[in-house]
Amino acid sequence: MPAQFVLSRAAFVELLAALRAQGYRLMGPTVRDGAIVYDELSGVDDLPIGWTDEQDGGTYRLTRRDDAALFGYTVGPHSWKQVFHPPAVKLWRAVRDERGLRLEAEPLPAAKTALIGARACDLHAIAIQDTTFLHGPVVDRRYEAARRDTFVVAIQCGQAARTCFCASMGTGPRASAGFDLALTEVLDERGHRFVGEAGTPAGEAVLARLPHRPAAPEDLEAAAQRHDAALAQMGRRLDAGGVRELLQENLDHPRWDEVASRCLACGNCTMVCPTCFCTATSDRGDLAGREAERWQTWDSCFTMDFSYVHGGSVRRSTKSRYRQWLTHKLSTWFDQFGRSGCVGCGRCITWCPVGIDLTEEVRAIRETPSRPGPAAEPSHGHP
């Protein structure tokens, strides 16, 4: 393990200033509309100081802590895909005039971005989106440009929500890769400080310019207690063993009908999921018929339009749409990208208006598996 160091709270403030001075825009947690979201930070005061969150199926509440922790909460409705794979992106613009049709690509994003307070689950989610957009047969140049110059200050979780299950997915609660600096926030009788490690030469270079000292055994012990607390508080678990095969073998399981009777097909789970990547393209024109734009926006497999082919949608029932989402996330993701698409962050449980819990759905199928019978009717054909 690399040498651990200790930053005071004041030194943490200097860290943010140093990153800004290097031209990074700081993206991190802040309180807005009753939730902790990710947005651009001007400094430490924008952080949710002294706030925490209470989460459960369909429930999210901010409450006051009895201390002034900067990172005393877990993850909110946003994820870092907001930064690298934004909800709406203009791809190009077309102009039609007497000279004909001209198409101009939008310039690629050029921002240097520092992520302040990324959690272990989210670092895995970023790695998963990197696989989707950068390491497949086709590279998304826009994602690549947004992602290129990123500095990651990870925060090791010191508490977990009732919806968290990263431990069972092998993605947390402790971040072991994917960061430049990883910090554990500690508040005790020895003071408000951050016990941390550098993960890259870039992290070491930034650290070298900050006041810091080597971690003492007491600091390491205090940090380990925080990690243990997060692990102990983990409210849920998903038995991921063999889930890839389990779902494929149970595409006609009655549980899909049961969950469909509760699911509103609102798509919240896909919006808050840090790995869901689907997009729709739409064309917008001006009234004069001279200019048009192509936009790419987040889309959800829960919408009827998602699977539309002429004559109708392939997935008309809510059952088929929930099944598509869950089997993609936990099963066909392996075929496509070599791993699970779930990082155990629990956002889809918290932000489901009716509190549908994928760990429960998997458990229900596991407890009463039924291999698929012969299909009674053919699948959707071309009309």
Partner 1 sequence: MTPTAEPPATGPSAFLPRSFRVAAVHRETAETRTLELQPVDGRPAPAFVPGQFTMVYVFGVGEVPMSITGDPARDDRLVHTVRVVGAVSRAIAGLRRGAEIGIRGPFGRGWPLTEALGRDLIIVAGGVGLAPLRPVIYHVRAHRAAFGRVSVLYGARTPDELLYRRELARWRRDGAIDLQVTVDRASAGWTGLVGVPTLRLRQLTIDPARTLALTCGPEVMMRYAVRELEHCGLDAAQVHLSMERNMQCAVGLCGHCQFGPDFLCRSGPVLRADRVLPRLAIREL
Q: Smaller CB distance to partner 1: residue 42 or 336?
A: 336
- Point out which residues bind partner 1 (CB under 8 A): 91-92, 94, 96, 100-103, 105, 108, 132-133, 136-142, 251-252, 277-283, 285, 289, 292, 294, 296, 299, 301, 306-311, 314-317, 319-320, 324, 328, 332, 335-336, 372, 374-375, 377-383
Indicate the residue among 10 and 103 with the shorter CB distance to partner 1: 103
In angstroms, give the least distance from the CB of 141 to partner 1: 5
- Closer residue to partner 1 in complex, CB, 20/337: 337
The distance of closest approach from Cβ of residue 166 to partner 1 in the complex, given in angstroms and rounded to an integer, is 24
Q: How far is the CB of 267 from partner 1 (least distance, A)?
A: 13
The residue (of 1 and 375) whose beta carbon lies closer to partner 1 is 375
Least distance to partner 1, CB of residue 189, Å: 51
**Please, which residue, 43 or 136, has the CB nearer to partner 1?**
136
| Per-residue 3-state assignment (H helix, E strand, C coil) for the chain | CCCCEEEEHHHHHHHHHHHHHCCCEEEEEEEECCEEEEEEECCHHHCCCCEEEEEECCEEEEEECCCCCCCCCCCCCCCCHHHHCCCEEEEEEEEEECCEEEEEECCCCCCCEEEEEECHHHHHHHHHHHHHHHCCCCCCHHHHHHHHCEEEEEECCCCCCCCCCHHHHCCCCCCCCCCCEEEEEEEECCEEEEEEEECCHHHHHHHHCCCCEECCHHHHHHHHHHHHHHHHHCCCCCCCCCHHHHHHCCCCCHHHHHHHHHCCCCCHHHHHCCCCCCEEEEEEECCCCCEEEEEEEECCCCCCHHHEECCEECCCCHHHHHHHHHHHHHHHHHHHHCCCCCCCCCHHHHCCCCCCCHHHHHHHHHHCCCCCCCCCCCCCCCC
In angstroms, give the least distance from the CB of 381 to partner 1.
Answer: 4
Q: In whole angstroms, how close is the CB of 74 to partner 1 at the nearest point?
A: 27
Nearer to partner 1, 142 or 347 (CB): 142
Q: Which is nearer to partner 1, 4 or 332 (CB)?
A: 332
- In angstroms, what is the minimal distance from the CB of 279 to partner 1? 5
